[in-house]
Structure 1
Amino acid sequence: MGQVARQKFVVRLLNDHKVTTQNQLLQLLQENGFEVTQSTVSRDIKALNIVKVSDEAGGTYYTQMAFDQQKKMRRLCEGIRDNVSKIQKIQFMNVIRTPLNSNYANALTALLDDLNLPEVSGTIAGNDTIVIISKNDKDAEVIYQLFFKNMDNDLK
């Protein structure tokens, strides 16, 4: 099979499995009939803009980061750092506070919605409050960490 088919399959593998190492990805490809080497896997990772991200347990795994997604995520992180004053995780939801009458809650929620993060089931924006609803506590923790890690202060 060719490079295009292999790279499409790599993306599918990353969506279907929590791949933690290049060696694991290599093994999955070989098990599915792709004759590849470690250097081929490494080149595919670079070409497909695949990055390692942290999970809720502190482990890491590979995921594809779209180039537009990187820009959107950078804008969201800057907005969080500059405008979020408080975040509180309550079971499967996150409640985020921004300055009163600033319209930042709506702007940050629009950026968050635009990312289509799998951990976000829905959002609600008010005057100075964002409510992010997740499917479960683990997904809510991922979102909490995204916001909390990008805040300059120690407010919770």
Structure 2
Amino acid sequence: MKIDRRSKILEIISRKEIETQEELAKELRGEGFHVTQATVSRDIKNLQLIKVLSATGRYKYVANKEESKDAISKLVTLLSHTIISVENIDKIVVVRTITAAASTAAEAIDQLDLAEIAGTIAGDNTIFMLVRSNEMAVEIVKKISELVGR
């Protein structure tokens, strides 16, 4: 739930100018999340959001681009060290990992926030990803293979 909420926060701040924690909490509640201002405050800290002056003269929350680039780099490194193979079977992408790494790799894939992926399920050394279409599944295999250098 925390991952979903944080993904939703990033989505909200990318499409709206959110100036306060209370505005963000209100938006999240409108999306069906039951949150308090304290929860939003912790999420802002964990996501390392910063405030910048917008074109309208208001301050708004944005993702720290440098932190995001560094985080993505770390996720790609993690994936390149754990993924053995990637293939698609219709709308399902099957990712094989080294033993005991599937859960961590699935979390890293979830953090990449790829819109084509509806969800992931991880076992010990295998991840199943449900992708929104057969064509998107082919693209996801290509993206992940390129990311991990396979």
Q: TM-score, normalised by structure 1?
A: 0.49
1:114-133 to 2 correspondence within 5 Å?
114-133=111-130
Q: Between the two proteins, what is the percent identity of the paired residues? A: 22
Separation of aligned partners in 2, 1:66 and 1:145:
28
Runs of 4+ in 1 over 4 A off after TM superposition: none
Amino acid at match of 1:148: S
- Say whether the 8 Å CA contact 2:91–2:137 is kept in structure 1: yes
Residue number in structure 2 paired with 1:88? 87
Relative to the length of structure 2, the TM-score reads 0.51
Gaps of 5+ in 2: 1-13, 16-62
RMSD: 2.4
Give aligned pairs, total: 90
For residue 116 of structure 1, give the secondary structure of its aligned residue in structure 2: coil
Residues 118 and 74 (structure 1), Cα distance of their counterparts in 2 relative to 1, 3 Å cut:
same
Q: Helix, strand or coil: the match of 1:117? A: coil
Aligned counterpart, 1:138: 135
- Structure 1 unmatched runs, 5+: 1-10, 13-64
Greater fraction strand: 2
Q: Deviations over 1:110-146 (max 9, x none)?
A: 1222232211100000000011111102221222112
Inter-CA distance 135–69: structure 2 relative to 1 (3 Å threshold): farther
